[in-house]
Amino acid sequence: MGETLMTMQDIADLAGVTRPAVSQWRRRTKVRGRDVPFPQPSYDPGGRELFETREVVDWLRSTGRGNNAEFAEDAPAAGIPAGVTFDQSLILLCLRDNSEDDLSNLDESTLVEIAMSIDPADGVVLSEAIDGNFPAAALEFVDDLYSASYGAPDALDRLESGQLGRNQERRGFSGELVDIVAAVVDGMVAHADLSTGGVEPPGAGRFVLACEDLDLLAIAQNLAGLDSHGRTDSSQLRDLRRRALLRGWLALDVDQPKVTVTSVHGWERTAALEQLDHVVLDLEPFEYAIIAGSADLLCDRLEGTAERHRSESLRGSRSANHGPLVGALRLPRGLWKHAPRQNSGLWILKGQAGIARPWVADLTETEIDSGELAADIAGVLATSSAPNELPARAFRYVRARDIRSILRGEAVVPPGTRAVSFASDRYDFINDVRAASIETAEATDLFDIYVNDRPASVVVGSTSLGAMIESGTITRHSGSRIDGAWAEASGTVPVVDARKSGEVFRVDAFVAENSFRRSIRTLPGDVVCCSNPPTAWVDGRGGSLVFTPNKILRLGDDARIGPHTLAAVINDARFKEYANWQVPSVPVDQVEAVEDAMRRLSEYRQQLQMKERAAMKLGHALLSGVASGTMELMESSLEPQTSHGR
């Protein structure tokens, strides 16, 4: 992390607290009896206070304040170097997501080549890359932002919600609403991909998104593209295309089937009902529409003219008892920030579909799992395609409702409507006890080493790690932000973290290939390190994904130091800035011997750490299992009894 600056609001966001809470911290410097002064600010030309990111991270670590345990991992995306703009960062983020290495390691011609490969028609970033002149601080900031994020969509979210993105024009939809709509769209895509037998037209799994709202651009991570709604090439449209590119879907083929996403939040009721009617009338066969708005308009009972207008929109024809409504969801309060006490609602429509039993759910007090919701939507669409067949799966949230009740003026989603849920099996602690006790029962290997005196006639110097990187003796690469939800016991690709002494969990090879295609993996002998606090670990096997904020140090043939020796140097370092770490120049005849000793010492330390973790797990499982009544201790596991001659 270079010299980056944060505002007071940035500090609050990083710590997971409100802005006034940071002001209180600043005034009250006593923390558990110690005086820990708040970092001193500098000032921009407008007089705004700015704080150095590294000082803020150190202060949060020393005080223990805040509600974000991952503040150190999030910090590279929070601080902004002086002079870096939002547009620069957005353009560079598109290039970084399609680069095999950090942008700061590439020259201008390589950046143009990357832009040409992803944007030959110059609709997104090619002109901007050719104009170039990106400051080094912007390149380093985007490298750190990308490394601190769970892929390009998350990096875009962090950029938009941070210091640079606050001046962007937004509707004020919360991330929870965006996630819900995204899950619905994912369900549509999953259903279209799985459709067979001619029910859907060829290529139905590929859609174009008809949406021009910045807040809702995060909804279609699996879609084929963005409907431009025009042939012009304005700066706003280029901006939308960049965001679409970072979401993983970008196409300008408006002849493909569309998913139209429309929000009527804040509209006057008559105008909102007219907009609903327009959306329904514009739907083509096999196209979908999602309408978001207030729950009192989309979900609750209406009276008089409003009720008649809504019912007419939901009928397939003037006298039909069916229509295009596939499903409706009542959503929690606060999803539209301009009306935090208002519940939101969602309609899911399908073009020219005669559906007599739409599926509805009240999700106002339900913990929503995006994957489960997407699966429900895919199941609902499959059921609507074959209305005379029973559903092929149980639903987590939704329940069928007769549309005739809705057309008579009743609520679309009666309060409390939800699917039946089932209790899960109780947890069995016996397997945990047995697995941990196998580890603790094994003896630990002994470690010993022999040394001799040596005449101190050789002058042993040192050089800094920064100088070795500058000379190319060592190359430095960024890690990746990886969500623990992707962990799989049967995974084959390790995710490593020097702070956890190696492997943290594993992910499936297909997930690693699809979700982390641009992430740099380790080679055998790479040193994985973290600078604050200085920690290092050697990957002897290679092929691992590296958890940010760790970096990969790759030694060249002329490094004159082994990876385990370098890791030991880093683990003993006193400086927090990696460039200042001093790497000793080991005599040539001692390089291999020192490396072998450091390797064996590292293995010994790992054995001790594994024993410690197993002992902690064993203690937890024993207490929990006995207390829950699912396990009892045998007499042989207690204190040994007197043998009485046996």
Q: Which of the pair, 242 or 451, is modelled with greater confidence?
A: 242
Interior/surface letters 55-77, b for 16+ CB within 10 angstroms, e for the rest? ebbbbbeebebbeeeebbbbbbb
Structure tokens at 35: 């005086």
| C-alpha to C-alpha distance for 432 and 205, rounded to whole angstroms | 43
Please count the other Cβ atoms lying within 10 Å of the Cβ belonging to residue 91.
Answer: 25
Least confident range from 11-20, 63-72, 622-631, 637-646: namely: 637-646
Q: pLDDT per residue over 457-483, tens digit each?
A: 444 467 788 888 888 889 999 998 888
Is 440 in contact with 615 (CB distance < 8 Å)? yes
Least confident range from 43-57, 561-575, 611-625: namely: 611-625
528 forms beta bridges with 537, 552
pLDDT grade for 492, boundaries at 50, 70 and 90: very high
* pLDDT in the model for residue 17: 93
Instruction: Taking residues 36-62, report their average pLDDT.
Output: 89
Q: In the chain, pLDDT over 70 holds for what percent of residues?
A: 83
- CA contacts within 13 A on the Cβ side of 362: 15
* pLDDT in the model for residue 213: 62
Residue 318: Cβ-neighbour burial (10 angstroms; 0-12, 13-18, 19+): exposed
pLDDT grade for 151, boundaries at 50, 70 and 90: confident
Is 498 in contact with 529 (CB distance < 8 Å)? yes
E-assigned strand segments in 216-335: 225-226, 258-263, 288-294, 325-333
Residue 390 has pLDDT above 60, yes or no: no
* pLDDT in the model for residue 393: 63
5 forms beta bridges with 52, 80
> Can you say how many angstroms the Cα of residue 72 is from the centroid of all Cα atoms in its chain?
16
Residue 544 has pLDDT above 90, yes or no: yes
Is 104 in contact with 479 (CB distance < 8 Å)? no
- Residue 156's SS3 state is helix
The answer for residues whose C-beta is within 8 angstroms of residue 202's C-beta and 6 or more apart is none
Task: List, in order of start, the domains of the chain with CATH numbers.
Answer: 5-161 (no CATH), 175-407 (3.40.50.12420), 462-586 (3.90.220.20)
Query: Which residue's structure tokens are 């990106």?
Result: 134
User: What letter would DSSP give residue 427?
Assistant: P
Is 215 in contact with 173 (CB distance < 8 Å)? yes
Closest CA to 145 of 535, 531, 578, 478: 478
CA distances from residue 113 to 106, 123, 279, 438, 518 in whole angstroms, order as listed:
11, 15, 42, 55, 16
Q: pLDDT per residue over 153-177, tens digit each?
A: 888 888 888 888 776 655 678 778 8
Instruction: Taking residues 363-385, report their average pLDDT.
Output: 84
pTM of the shown model? 0.52
φ, ψ of residue 614 in degrees (nearest 5)? -65, -40
User: What letter would DSSP give residue 2?
Assistant: -
Q: In the chain, pLDDT over 90 holds for what percent of residues?
A: 20
> Can you say how many angstroms the Cα of residue 108 is from the centroid of all Cα atoms in its chain?
29
Q: pLDDT per residue over 184-199, tens digit each?
A: 888 887 776 555 444 4
Q: What is the dihedral of CA 290, 296, 301, 304, to 10 degrees?
A: -100
* pLDDT in the model for residue 255: 57
Residue 549: is the preceding peptide bond cis (ω within 30°)? Answer: yes
Please count the other Cβ atoms lying within 10 Å of the Cβ belonging to residue 249.
Answer: 19
Structure tokens at 199: 């029910």
Helices (H) and strands (E) in the chain, counts: 21, 22
* pLDDT in the model for residue 507: 92
Closest CA to 209 of 277, 246, 261: 261
Least confident range from 156-165, 364-373, 621-630: namely: 621-630
pLDDT grade for 236, boundaries at 50, 70 and 90: low
Q: Which of the pair, 341 or 506, is modelled with greater confidence?
A: 506
The answer for residues whose C-beta is within 8 angstroms of residue 288's C-beta and 6 or more apart is 188, 207, 257, 258, 259, 260, 348, 349, 350, 351
- Residue 331's SS3 state is strand
Q: What angle do CA 227, 368, 246 make, to 5 degrees?
A: 30
pLDDT grade for 231, boundaries at 50, 70 and 90: very low
